[in-house]
Structure 1
Amino acid sequence: MQHINLETFANGAFTAQVNRAIEEVTKNIQDPNTDAGTARKITVTIAFKPNQERNFIATGVQTKTTLAPALGAVTALSMGKDLRTGEVEEKQRQMRMKRTSIDLEWDLIPLRQGMEISRIL
């Protein structure tokens, strides 16, 4: 069998797809909103579909990337209910994300008489 040059395989589509996939992975690695430690992957599939006489083969090339997902955003709300009026109040809390933990900065709200804190998330 003759050696197949992957640079010219499928009229250069193979190389173009692999290069595009590498660029996609590289951009994902450089994105600060993704986890640096997550492995990225490129899967290249070359499909061969012969005809009944086995003298002609339709060939398809496809690349698929597996990238690191974007990091999620986290927030916290504190809520309270004024027992006299029934009015519910909430306040979003400032949060700082660290690589392995969440550091919450709380603003303490002075409670008025008759106000209860129902739940802090």
Structure 2
Amino acid sequence: MIALEKFAGGVLKEKFNTELQKVLDNIADPNTDFKKTRKISLEIVFKANEDRDLAEVDIKSKATIVEAKATTTKVLIGKDLETGRVEASEFKNQLAGQLSIDVSDSNETDEIEENSSGVIDFRNASSK
């Protein structure tokens, strides 16, 4: 008999392991439903010749995995009053009409920051 592990030069084993990895990755994905089943199908088709002393064998493999859950978000839509262009931005727990402003520390201002290494006594600082 034929050893499945060595069949077709080990291709049957390789195809199974490839599909198994897809199933395992899908099970580990937190975006999929853990309750749903996954399946690996190995199809081995034999086509015999007329003399029935030789068969051509086709090997197919397929993993049936679970789709990732849909992700939902909200988008605010409005018109730019300067350009008249309709624009959208993702709604992230702000009030409608409120802008989301990204403030970075790299912007320079005219303020002078003084570094002091101690407690400042404002009573004495105002008299200087």
Partner Cα distance (2:26, 2:53) in 1: 42
For residue 53 of structure 2, what is the aligned residue in structure 1?
55
Residue 32 of structure 1 is aligned with which of 17, 30, 33? 30
Partner Cα distance (1:74, 1:16) in 2: 38
Unpaired segments of 5 or more residues in structure 1? Answer: 95-105, 111-121
TM-score by length of 1: 0.63
Structure 1 residue 87: Cα displacement: 8.6
Larger Rg computed on CA atoms: 2
* Letter of the 1:65 counterpart: A
Partner Cα distance (2:17, 2:85) in 1: 58
For residue 64 of structure 2, what is the aligned residue in structure 1?
66
Residue 12 of structure 1 is aligned with which of 1, 10, 13? 10
Residue 107 of structure 1 is aligned with which of 83, 94, 116? 94
Higher strand share: 1
| Regions of 4+ moved over 3 Å | 77-81, 86-92, 106-110
Kept in 1, the 8 Å contact 2:19–2:40? The answer is yes
Partner Cα distance (1:60, 1:80) in 2: 57
Identity of aligned residues (%): 35
* Letter of the 1:107 counterpart: Q
Kept in 1, the 8 Å contact 2:76–2:96? The answer is no
TM-score by length of 2: 0.60
Larger RCO (CA under 8 A, 6+ residues apart)? 1
Partner Cα distance (1:87, 1:17) in 2: 52
Name the count of aligned residue pairs: 97
CA shift in 2, pair 1:48/1:78, >3 Å: same
Partner Cα distance (2:6, 2:88) in 1: 62
Unpaired segments of 5 or more residues in structure 2? Answer: 98-128
For residue 120 of structure 2, what is the aligned residue in structure 1?
none
**What is the RMSD computed on CA atoms of the aligned residues?**
2.8
